Structure 1
Amino acid sequence: MRRSLPWISGIALVAVAGVVTLAIPSDDSLTDPILIRGSTDDELASRTLRIAVQDSTFADEVAVPASDWSAEGNWLVITVEASAPHTETGAAINLATLTVDGRVFQASERPSDSLLHTPLHVGTALVGSLAFELPADLRHGTAELRLSPTTPTPLLDDVIVITLPLDDLPATSQVDLIAPEWATP
């Protein structure tokens, strides 16, 4: 028994070291964003954003009637209601991404009437659209809409993550993007 005691102690120490190694967070986790998850039925609030998805639709063309701009393609247009929960400092959707099957797409900055980069206010919500140009065959599966006031990569900041089932979304030939406007109570 005396001869096996050092071996048993050594094996126990190796096992404990393995458990401790697994329990220690990675270096990336010290700066990762704080994800606030929800679905399209939820109103989500982070440090600087309050978001509710109102509508989502696929379109073969998006247009901005006020500027005669339009573009054809496979577009996903997401209409959201957004406001600032506590302070207007830094309150804007500056980063809007859509992740589908590991591929990340950023909201297009081409339409002038996008909610992207629009300053948000406390107590009064704006309704506006985010348009994502996607590959032609991408209209199925589940997507994650990520919204943040920080670009390019949020470090130690809140990121709103909304799960969006693409299979059930309607499709239309054209969507006219409207300028962000005050939400009706």
Structure 2
Amino acid sequence: MKKKILVWSLTLVLLAGAWGVSKATLPEDTAIEAFPIVAELDDPAVGRNLEVTITDIHATRRVTDVKGWSAEGTWLVVDLQASTVATQDGDLLGFAELTIGDRRFTATDRGTTFYKQRLITGVPRAGSLAFELPADALTGTGILRLGLPMGQPREVLLDDVIELRVDLDELPVEAEVTLDENGWAR
């Protein structure tokens, strides 16, 4: 009888230990997650190989570009300046994501936007990113994440990520916003 109690007690201790280890273990992809760098509007945010200054954010019902393209809908437009810091080998601003609650949106490549623009080391380029959103999405807090992807599209790894919190309730909704022309920053 004592032997059964000892075996069951040892089993319970081992199960509790295994449960504790499983709760303390980080997820598999934690080792490859990006390092977030918190950004503020109009202040440069600098990662290992990416420097971004977000100059303005607009909520709008219509987006146009300098070449005449336009689209109706609900849009969040982010004006920014960006450059690489260390190297420019194949560095495109290829990661631009907006998270609102549990929904994620990628910057559009429609029109003339800054999405996937080639960046130059030490020489900022400027432009606008545009996110097409559902009509009900301009509420709460959004998290804008920008980065330089490394690897294949299905296995995008990010060295570091520039993050900006956006209070969507505070943004006035404009009738129309024209995307900044891609070019050298002033």
Residue in 2 that maps onto 1:170: 172
Residue in 1 that maps onto 2:65: 64
Contact 2:81-2:127 within 8 A present in 1 as well: yes
Residue in 2 that maps onto 1:15: 16
Residue in 2 that maps onto 1:48: 49
Structure 1 stretches of 5 or more lacking a match? none
Contact 1:74-1:133 within 8 A present in 2 as well: yes
Note the C-alpha offset of 1:87.
0.9
Contact 2:37-2:47 within 8 A present in 1 as well: no
Distance in structure 2 (CA, Å) of the matches to 1:138 and 1:29: 29
Contact 2:39-2:162 within 8 A present in 1 as well: no
Contact 1:63-1:177 within 8 A present in 2 as well: yes
Read off the aligned partner of 1:149 and give its amino acid letter: L
Note the C-alpha offset of 1:152.
5.2
The answer to which structure has the higher helix fraction is 2
> Deviation per CA, 1:159-184, whole angstroms, max 9, x where unpaired?
32221111111322111112222223
Report the number of matched residues: 180
Note the C-alpha offset of 1:115.
1.0
- Among the aligned pairs, what percent are the same residue? 35
Note the C-alpha offset of 1:80.
1.2
TM normalised by structure 2 equals: 0.83
Contact 1:58-1:75 within 8 A present in 2 as well: yes
Note the C-alpha offset of 1:36.
0.8
Structure 2 stretches of 5 or more lacking a match? none
Report the CA distance shift for 1:130/1:156 in structure 2 as closer, same or farther (over 3 A): closer
Residue in 2 that maps onto 1:134: 133
Residue in 2 that maps onto 1:155: 157
Contact 1:36-1:44 within 8 A present in 2 as well: no
TM normalised by structure 1 equals: 0.83
Per mean C-alpha deviation after superposition, the further-off stretch among 167-176 and 147-156 is 147-156
Report the CA distance shift for 1:9/1:117 in structure 2 as closer, same or farther (over 3 A): same
> Deviation per CA, 1:47-105, whole angstroms, max 9, x where unpaired?
3321121100111211113x221111111110111110111123221121111121111
Residue in 2 that maps onto 1:96: 96
Read off the aligned partner of 2:132 and give its amino acid letter: E
Per mean C-alpha deviation after superposition, the further-off stretch among 19-28 and 125-134 is 19-28
